[in-house]
Amino acid sequence: MSHKVTIKVSPDIVEAELKTADPEQVAYVSKYLTRSNCPTHVKVHVTAEVHRVLSLMVAANAQTGATIGGYLTAIVLDHFAKNADLMKRIFEDSREELFL
């Protein structure tokens, strides 16, 4: 998605406008809203508002093959990557390894 095309049609004229997509938007969609392989299906409960936002973002990017599960997984994995050291320190009293 490097460009956005807007087409206006009226009885007298057809206008087309091509705009370059915002690089931040392109990067976000590439990172979070692309097809994801989720081989397992585990039920996760989220608030209605979180589900609403996830659903709208996935629907707005349907052409990428994104799913709510894939979007949510990408967000959580990004959070883990950014906060792994802190999460490990918080979890260090446990007998299990937090990240394998």
Q: Which helix (H) or strand (E) holds 14?
A: strand 14-20
Contacts of 99 (CB under 8 A, 6+ apart): 80, 84, 87, 88
Q: How far is CA 60 from CA 29, 44, 55, 64, 73, in A?
A: 10, 22, 8, 10, 18
Q: What confidence score (pLDDT) does residue 2 get? A: 57
Question: pTM, whole model, 2 decimals?
Answer: 0.69
Average of pLDDT values for 44-48? 92
Compute the mean pLDDT over every residue in the chain, rounded to the nearest whole number: 84
